[in-house]
């Protein structure tokens, strides 16, 4: 199963068309799209999934904690509610606050490829959690900040992978404007 984005693409090939991770401030060229849709891309994806459960974009590292980064960019009320729901779900046996307050990385883009059974398990855990936050707060912010369910889901993926000891690999992403 895979979830991707219309302007973001996994890049499984190491070639000269794209640097490791890159942002291309334009629409893709024909050569760039050929590279991203090349059979070698699929072949490498398939080989990775034979040995691992999940493929995600390379995590972003921030000069502050994942929690501080989130709260500095968008409304903090959804984060507070998210933490409350995490404590309800996982109790105090997991150092959830430490995970988000001490780590300076975050899963991003809500992109992944994962084995079907892992996908099902992730969806069964993620949607009730995020929907509880949304059902409590609703769409009370501007259009950007109302994307908080997606922003929270991005961060939850990294935590969920680690809590469930899911094998994963991070790969470069090419982003177009």
The pair of structure tokens assigned to 115 is: 């084995």
Between these two residues, 161 and 101, which has the higher pLDDT value? 161
Rounded to the nearest 10 degrees, the angle between the axes of helix 148-163 and helix 77-90 is 30
Mean pLDDT of 80-106: 86
Reading the block at residue 147, the tokens are 């994307």
| DSSP one-letter code for 147 | G
CA distance linking residue 12 with residue 38, whole number of Å:
10
Task: Please state, as a whole number, how many other Cβ atoms lie within 10 Å of the Cβ of residue 156.
Answer: 20
| SS3 of residue 167 by DSSP | coil
Residue 1 has pLDDT above 70, yes or no: no
> Using CA atoms, how far apart are residues 85 and 91, in angstroms rounded to an integer?
9
Look at residue 27 in the predicted model and tell me its pLDDT: 81
pTM of the model: 0.89
Q: For position 176, what pLDDT does the model report?
A: 84
Instruction: Select the more confidently predicted residue: 68 or 2.
Output: 68
Res. 14: pLDDT tops 80: no
For residues 97 and 87, the answer to whether their CB atoms sit within 8 Å is: no
pLDDT score recorded for residue 20 = 65
Q: What is the mean pLDDT of the chain?
A: 89
The gap between the terminal CA atoms of the chain, to the nearest Å, is 25
Answer with the residue of higher pLDDT: 132 or 9: 132
Of the pLDDT bands very low, low, confident and very high (cuts 50, 70, 90), residue 146 is: very high
**Does the pLDDT value for residue 33 go beyond 90?**
no
Do residues 173 and 111 lie in contact, with contact meaning Cβ atoms separated by under 8 Å?
yes
């Amino acid at each position: 199963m895979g979830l991707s984005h219309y302007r973001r693409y996994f890049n499984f090939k190491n070639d000269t068309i794209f640097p490791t991770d890159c942002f291309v401030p334009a629409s893709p060229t024909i050569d760039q799209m050929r590279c991203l849709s090349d059979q070698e891309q699929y072949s490498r994806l398939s080989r990775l999934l034979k040995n691992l459960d999940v493929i995600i974009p390379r995590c972003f590292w921030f000069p502050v904690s994942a929690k501080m980064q989130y709260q500095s960019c968008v409304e903090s009320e959804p984060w507070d509610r998210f933490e409350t729901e995490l404590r309800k779900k996982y109790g105090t046996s997991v150092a959830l606050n430490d995970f988000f307050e001490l780590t300076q990385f975050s899963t991003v883009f809500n992109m992944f490829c994962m084995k079907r059974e892992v996908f099902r398990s992730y969806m069964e855990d993620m949607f009730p959690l995020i929907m509880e936050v949304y059902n409590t707060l609703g769409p009370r912010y501007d259009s950007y900040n109302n994307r908080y369910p997606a922003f929270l889901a991005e961060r939850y993926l990294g935590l969920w992978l680690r809590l469930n000891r899911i094998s994963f690999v991070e790969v470069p992403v090419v982003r177009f404007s």
